[in-house]
Structure 1
Amino acid sequence: MRFVGVVVGLLCLTSVPAFADLRITRDHGGEVEKYKVKYKRVRDSGERVIIDGICNSACTLVLGIVPHNKICVTPRASLGFHEAYTVQNWPFKGKLASASGTRDLMSYYPEPVLDWIERKGGLTPKMKIVKNGPDLWAMLLPCPEEW
């Protein structure tokens, strides 16, 4: 009887899809290294990424890690870019700009993203946002309906 349970369990596992879409709806970013690990896992799994809302800061690393043909944007999508920083708690609490971190971020972005950032004056502490429209579509294709 135990053998039958194992066989049924294995059959159920094999009927599960190998991957699922990752839908980004409200991601304000975070630690860059964690996003690198996350998106490399997504890339390696073959998952598709649907940007269907806010993708700011470290979230935008998806653009340089997951293949372009595995990412699309909906009309609700927006991307936000700013220079990298570290959070400092001592001797004063605040954000400390990181030139090396900013260079690292920029090294991941594909050419259309770099072009847009350059046209907007480069990365600064202030968030620069691109929303649905020609600028965003130059970076990523709109999602086909079947996604």
Structure 2
Amino acid sequence: MPIRLAAIVIPLMLLATSARADLHITRDHGGYVEEYKAKYEHIRKTGQRVIIDGICNSACTLVFGIVPMNKICVTPRASLGFHQAYYDKAFTFGIKVTSYEGTSDLMSYYPSSVKDWIRRNGGLTTEMKKIKNGVDLWKIVDPCPEDF
């Protein structure tokens, strides 16, 4: 009897654990905005936490506009990087061409704390602007608890 019970309980425990897995961001340099929107919508809908424990640049930062802020935290290794959106270089002959519409779309997702930091630091430009751990970062997102 205990073997049958274990055969039922263990798979259910594994299923429950995998459904609530946290997303750990350690080295994310960004990518296609639409892919990140879909990814973070899924994270939001499933109620997962996001732990930023390293680099989160470019489209990765959309997490702040899609996942509730009370579900996001940063470790001392966290770093955020912001820049203007640009068109896929595959369509611009390898030249970096700014997308003002894409940049406006990015900004529309960010909460006021992110927008304020960007404005205080000269707005979005083609150059990456970084926030590393410290007071500026904690004005945007809470530090992770010690036992994350």
In 1, distance between residues paired with 2:28 and 2:111? 20
- Using a 3 Å threshold, how does the CA distance of structure 1 residues 75 and 14 change in structure 2: closer, same or farther? same
Q: Percent identity?
A: 61
Aligned to 1:13: 11
In 1, distance between residues paired with 2:92 and 2:56? 32
Instruction: Kindly tell me the number of residue pairs found equivalent between the two proteins.
Output: 143
In 1, distance between residues paired with 2:92 and 2:145? 51
Aligned to 1:25: 26
| Structure-to-structure mapping, 1:92-131, within 5 angstroms | 92-131=93-132
Deviation at 1:140, TM superposition (A): 0.3
Segment drifting more, 81-90 vs 8-17: 8-17
The answer to whether residue 63 in structure 2 is matched with residue 65 in structure 1 is no
| Paired residue secondary structure (2:54) | strand
In 2, distance between residues paired with 1:72 and 1:91? 36
Deviation at 1:91, TM superposition (A): 6.5
Deviation at 1:89, TM superposition (A): 4.0
**TM-score of the two chains, using structure 1 as the length reference:** 0.90
**TM-score of the two chains, using structure 2 as the length reference:** 0.90
Aligned to 2:49: 48
Runs of 4+ in 1 over 2 A off after TM superposition: 7-13, 87-93
Segment drifting more, 14-23 vs 106-115: 14-23
| Paired residue secondary structure (2:81) | strand
| Paired residue secondary structure (1:143) | coil
Structure with greater strand share of residues: 1
Aligned to 2:78: 77
| Paired residue secondary structure (1:55) | strand
In 1, distance between residues paired with 2:10 and 2:52? 30
| Residue identity matched to 1:137 | W
Aligned to 1:143: 144
| Residue identity matched to 2:109 | Y
In 2, distance between residues paired with 1:103 and 1:91? 20
Structure with greater helix share of residues: 2
Segment drifting more, 20-29 vs 92-101: 92-101
